Copies of this chain bind each other. A is one copy, B any other.
Amino acid sequence: MTNNIKAYGASSAQANLEPMTIARRDLKATDVDIDILYCGVCHSDIHTARNDWKSTTYPVVPGHEIVGRVKAVGADVTKFKEGDLVGVGCLVDSCQTCPSCAQDLEQFCQNDKTYTYNSVDKHLGGQTYGGYSTSIVCSEAFVLKVPENIDPKGAAPLLCAGITTWSPLRHWNVKKGDKVGVVGLGGLGHMGVKFANALGAHVVMITTSPSKAADAEALGAHEVLISTDTEAMKAHANSFDFILNTIPVGHEMDPYLSLLGLDATMVLVGAIESMKPFHGGNLVLGRKRVAGSLIGGIKETQEMLDFCGEHNIVSDVETINITDINEAYERVLKNDVKYRFVIDMASLK
């Protein structure tokens, strides 16, 4: 059985997003039915809506930075009750049995993980639809508790931009006193600055834009390094313990690799694209590393949200109505947002 609900999505790669009706499954025993309050606008939404990755099935309803309130729970749900403030991120299911899932790394599930949108729907057939909609039904294992003391609008981007930056900072053990660079000041980068600061690191915003210096410092950066300033880059050579690279497109890594210290790591979280050539010597001399990181597991996402509750951390957002979504996409592509659009889903109801 299904219920039809209101949503907003794209019917083809060329189309603007527009109102549509989609099916949601009836509540199963382990399901949580969530009334969506806010949904963040992630760059991946745009890539998917426009089929940039050649993997989109239409119609598609994007949205994987979902915050809402529990409307109803299935008979076997133990962790949530009606009225709870909750979130859903990029994943709504995984096999729960493979070695990755057994390590709480559902994002690397080796079998059939289910993304929140544009992924095979194991319950209804067809595909999953995301958070640009009035409600979502999700297995409780993939629902997160959102601390009641943080602004739910600012919490929405934590479900993707937040965990995407939190996970590598934790996995590579960034700690008090480390010198941490954050490259790129967008939806991901601004969360990276906030988290690295809260973890006690000495945070250096690395950017091409001197105009971003004041904003970066307001977000928690202790220094700003302009990557086009050759002398400044030289002064910081071989000195970083860790670099979080949030640039969302392919780019030259060499200038950033030269900043890493002995045995230090730069992690790519944004560039799911072809990178420009780099010089092997920039890894060999200093035993440096480049790694990738992908969102985070459910357990780690909950830890991040709890940390945000304790440290009162949310994303800086600009709230929009659902009818503003097409204009918002254009502005995201121009990097014209500080730092994340969040859709007030009351505007769809």
Residues of A in contact with B (beta carbons under 8 Å apart): 99-100, 105, 108, 110, 171, 238, 250, 262, 265, 268-294
Complex CA–CA separation, A111 to B284 (angstroms): 17
Copies in the complex: 2
Complex CA–CA separation, A280 to B53 (angstroms): 13
* Also in contact, A294 and B284, with CB within 8 A (given A250-B277, A277-B274, A279-B275): yes
Q: Which residue of B lies closest to A279 (CB)?
A: B274
- Give the residues in chain B near A285, CB-CB below 8 Å: 108, 292, 294
Known pairs A108-B287, A268-B283, A280-B292 / 9 extra A-B pairs, C-beta < 8 Å? A108-B262, A108-B286, A273-B281, A274-B278, A274-B280, A275-B280, A287-B293, A287-B294, A289-B289
- Give the residues in chain B near A262, CB-CB below 8 Å: 99-100, 105, 108
Complex CA–CA separation, A280 to B253 (angstroms): 11
- From DSSP, what is the main secondary structure of chain A's interface residues? loop
- Give the residues in chain B near A268, CB-CB below 8 Å: 280, 283-284
Q: Are B280 and A284 in contact (CB under 8 A)?
A: no
- Give the residues in chain B near A287, CB-CB below 8 Å: 108, 171, 291-294
Complex CA–CA separation, A275 to B110 (angstroms): 30
Q: Are A290 and B289 in contact (CB under 8 A)?
A: yes
Q: Are B289 and A293 in contact (CB under 8 A)?
A: no
Q: Which residue of B lies closest to A167 (CB)?
A: B287
Question: Can you offer 28 A-B residue contacts whose CB atoms are under 8 A?
Answer: A99-B262, A105-B262, A108-B262, A108-B285, A108-B287, A110-B238, A274-B277, A274-B278, A274-B279, A274-B280, A275-B279, A276-B277, A280-B292, A282-B292, A283-B292, A284-B293, A285-B292, A285-B294, A286-B292, A286-B294, A287-B291, A287-B292, A287-B294, A288-B291, A289-B289, A289-B291, A290-B290, A290-B291
